Every structure is written in C-alpha cells, then in structure tokens.
Amino acid sequence: MTTGTLGCETSQSVQSMAIYMDSNVDKVARDMSRGAGENLDTLAVLLGVDEADRDSFRKVLQDNFATIFPSSETTSGEAVDAIVALLESDQSLSKYVAA
C-alpha cells in the first residue's frame, strides 16, 4: 500500500482509496478501461467525488488508463500514485486529492 503518494502527505480519502485498491486492483483496472463499473464508482465515493463530477472523474481515468496501468505488472500503489497525479493536474478534480 502506498502511504505517501509522490512524496506528499495523503488525505484520508486517498488512503482509503489505496486500501481499496490493494484488494481490488484488477477489478478497478477492468472498470477503468471501460469507463464504468461499481469498482470505479467505489473509488469516486472513497475520494468524495460529487455526483456532478463523477462523469468527468470516470472519463479522466478511462482516457489515462495506459498512464495509470502502463503494464500488467503495475502495483496498486503505483496506480494510486498515477491516479492522484492525474487528479491533481485536473482543475475540477484536484480538490478531491488535496491533503
């Protein structure tokens, strides 16, 4: 599990996402590649993503699937770090990963 994404302290919601990803990384990857699914929705809930931002959240993750999961060997911690970095760089979604 990742405890400090990108060398920064993590918010409680990011820590919750990391714990969830540890047990569900394959399911999350499958849903992310499709841009929909209950595991992707669970990530949104854990991060506190508002209903109004969920379509954008799903689209950003689907569009950047290859960045988040560059290989079949990508660990859940690496995926969490990539998700946090992507969300931090998105003006409307960065508020969900702020520490």
Tell me the domain boundaries of the chain. Answer: 10-90
Instruction: Decide: helix, strand or coil at residue 32.
Output: helix
Instruction: Decide: helix, strand or coil at residue 21.
Output: helix
Which pTM does this prediction carry? 0.87
Q: Cα dist. 35→29, 38, 40, 59, 99 in Å?
A: 10, 10, 8, 6, 26
Beta-carbon-side half-sphere exposure of residue 80 (alpha carbons within 13 Å): 30
Q: What is the pLDDT along the chain (99 residues), one digit of tens a residue?
A: 344 444 455 578 889 999 999 999 999 999 999 999 999 999 999 999 999 999 999 999 999 999 999 999 999 999 999 999 999 999 999 999 886
Q: Write down the pLDDT at residue 11.
A: 74
